[in-house]
Structures are given as C-alpha cells and as structure tokens.
Amino acid sequence: MKQNYLFTSESVSAGHPDKVSDQISDAILDEFLRQDPNSKVACETLCTTGLVVVAGEVKSNAYVDVQGVVRKTIADIGYNNAEYGFEASSCGVLSAIHEQSSDIRLGVEKPINMMYQQAEAEGQSCKEINREFYEDAMSAQGAGDQGIMFGYAVRETAEFMPATLALSHLLLQELDAIRKESGGKSYLRPDAKSQVTIEYDEFGKPLRVDTIVVSTQHDECVTDNTILQHIKECLIPRVKAKDPQLAELFQDDYRLLVNPTGRFVIGGHNGDTGVTGRKIIVDTYGGRACHGGGAFSGKDSSKVDRSAAYMARYIAKNLVAAGVADEVQVQLAYAIGVAKPVSVAVNTFGTADVAMSDGEIASRIAKLFDLRPAVIVERFGLKNPIYLPTASYGHFGRQPYTVDGIEFFGWERLDAVPEIKQTFNLD
C-alpha cells in the first residue's frame, strides 16, 4: 500500500569553501574566454586557511592574471575580514596551471584543423571554407572526453525543479542578500548551509514543508536565540514573499533547526578545506535525479561534462513544459573524439502523457535535437564568459537573462516547446 513519504535536498551558500573553489575556477575560465573564446580550460581550485591553490590544464592565446582574479572573486563573495581566517588581500595564491594535453586536443581540434588545411591547400578562400565546411566541422569536433550526463525536470515548481532543492537554494540566496544589505557589518558571515525536507503524497505531489535546517556562520558575540529569531522573523517571510508557490507548502507545524550544534563561529576556510567539484548534487537536482559524476566548474564547453549536461536539462525541461510527461530524466553518453552521442535515454517515471514508451520518446528526441558538442556550444553561446554566475545556487532552475548581448543560462529557455508539441502531436 502506497503512503506519504519524506524527501530532503540541501544547498550551500556562495561562501561555503567548496563553492568558493567553484567560483574561482569559473572566474578564471570566464577571463580566458573573455580574451580568447576558443580557450580550452580545465581549472581546479583548492582553498584552505590562508591559501588558494589553482591547478589545471589550459590552451589559450589569452593571458590571465590568476592571482588578481582569485583575490577579486574572494572579495566579492565577502571574505574581507582577517578574523574569518581567510581574507582576499592576504591569502596566499599558488598557480600550477600548465598546457593542455595534446592527446586530449586530438579529438576536439585535429579533424577540423586538417579539413581547413586541406581546403587552404586547394586555394579556397576563408569564406568558401567556412560555408562549405561548416557542417563537416560540426561533425568533426568530437567530445572532449567520454562520459554520461543527465538532465532532469519535474512539474513541481515554476522552474520545473524539485521543490526541496528550489527552497534550499532560495533560503541561502535570501540569507546572503540579507548579509550583504547590512554592508558587511552584520553578525552573519559568508559560510552557510541549508537543508529542506518536504512531505510528498503517494503520487509524488509535494504537500508540506516538514523540516528546515539552516546553519550559518556568525560572529562570536551573537547568541543562538538571536540567530533563530532572525531566521524566523526575517528570512522565512522573505522567502515566502519571493516564491508564493513554495510559500503554499509552509504550514504551522514545520520544524525549524538553526545551527543545531549551538555554535558556528569557526567556518569558511578556517574550518573546512574547499575543492572544486565537491557539490555536484547541489549544482544539479538535489538528489532527485542521477548524476554521471562529472563536475561543471572550471571546464570549458568542449568538455561534455558541462555542455551535454546543460543540453540534457534543456531537453528534459522542454519535454515537461510541452506536456510529454510530468517528470523526465534524460541521459546523454559520449565517446572522446566522437561528435554524435553513443546513446540517448529517457525515463519518465511512469508519468508520460503520450501513448508511447520511454524508448520511443528517446528515439524521437534523438532525431529532433542535434546533439553534437559543437552544435550545443553554438546553441547556448557557451564560448562566452557566462560561467561565474552558475557556480553558486545551482546551474539549473535559473532565469535566463542577457547582459551586453550575451545570454546567461540559455539552457533554461523553453523555446523548444512548439517543436516538441508538433513532434509528439500535442495541442
């Protein structure tokens, strides 16, 4: 017999050590792309008390002041006080970035370079080459590595994200806004975590918030009761006002746990070492969907770990929005140096509203969408410096926006809905 159940997701603030590492990696990536859109970057960051270590592989015509980017990123996050044990202007910065492996480049660049060299030898102009070889180049650019990537969407929130994760992110986004509104003089410090448990009915519909956990770093002089009252009287009302749909899940009987240990003064990099890529579930779907294991931050779009994961989310979200199913997971798998995916899989978890199997849905999706890495990169403008904003509060469920003609979070668009409705004969 089916019965109600509980599900939990967590989030971490922009000041959490792992997220600081992610933001540094993506800030460095953005600077390379800003100067050279064809940069190939795989940048990892480790942060600990008083020290940042940046390592990775890069092929680029750009020069990046790594130390300057690191310090600016840390300062913008809010680590500007020596009492925190980690401060932007005084921490050590070590760079161990070196040339990208030529073996890895073979699958991405060599086929295209050979095609252009042959065309030039035959006396063709650049315009003729670009026109004639465009499609061949798209096919020749293979995936930067093998891997499996997942995208997911569910009809639970306006953003087609799990309510548990959407609320976890929103709590910390508003908490961070409150901290910054005080001009950095509040007792709140940058490091924080949230966790939300929601009760679902037997059909998977969210019913009510069961438990909220908020742990926030704070100044020494602040009492536990002060922080609890702040969360109850300031943060929770702001969150409810921000998202009326999530606000409907709040009832009077939910449990609120704030700094459960009773103290969170030693935090940030003074209490925990941060490493790029350790918050991949926070970055994606809060545990509701599968994950292929690859991190996003610090990687340029030739790495399908990132670009194909964005495409899989785009497909899943548009499928749900079009009415194909109420819940969709899409898997894409690639081989290094090969342009087309080796497999496309769809799971609708029994929620499909079309009379066909998940295999049939996957087959139609594989024909409808061009899944070659170069096409994905072009579709979402992934050679632009758009990645730093993705490195905190999730890569998905965000509102697309444009700055100076550059689109951010383009994979969250719903512009494929008309094509999907036509493909699946939906009104």
Known binding residues for ATP are 16, 191-193, 263-264, 272, 278-279, 295, 299
Main-chain dihedrals φ then ψ at residue 37, nearest 5 degrees: -60, -20
What are the C-alpha distances in Å from 137 to residues 105, 114, 374?
A: 15, 10, 8
> Which residues are annotated binding-site positions for K(+)?
44
Distance, in Å, from the CA atom of 425 to the CA atom of 272, rounded to the nearest integer, reads 53
List all residues 6 or more positions away from 142 whose beta carbon is below 8 Å from its beta carbon.
Answer: 107, 108, 111, 335, 336, 337, 338, 339, 373
Q: Quick one: CA dihedral 411, 415, 421, 426, positive or negative?
A: positive
> Which residues are annotated binding-site positions?
16, 18, 44, 57, 100, 191-193, 263-264, 272, 278-279, 295, 299, 303
What are the C-alpha distances in Å from 196 to residues 79, 208, 222?
A: 27, 11, 24
> Which residues are annotated binding-site positions for Mg(2+)?
18
Q: Quick one: CA dihedral 399, 284, 382, 374, positive or negative?
A: negative
Cβ atoms of 14 and 79 closer than 8 Å: no
Instruction: Using DSSP bridges, classify how beta strands 255-258 and 206-218 pair: parallel, antiparallel or unpaired.
Output: parallel
Six token digits for residue 71: 């310090």
Across the beta sheet with 327-334, the strand order is 147-154, 327-334, 343-347
Distance, in Å, from the CA atom of 417 to the CA atom of 293, rounded to the nearest integer, reads 29
Cβ atoms of 332 and 344 closer than 8 Å: yes
> Which residues are annotated binding-site positions for L-methionine?
57, 100, 272, 303
Amino acid at 4: N
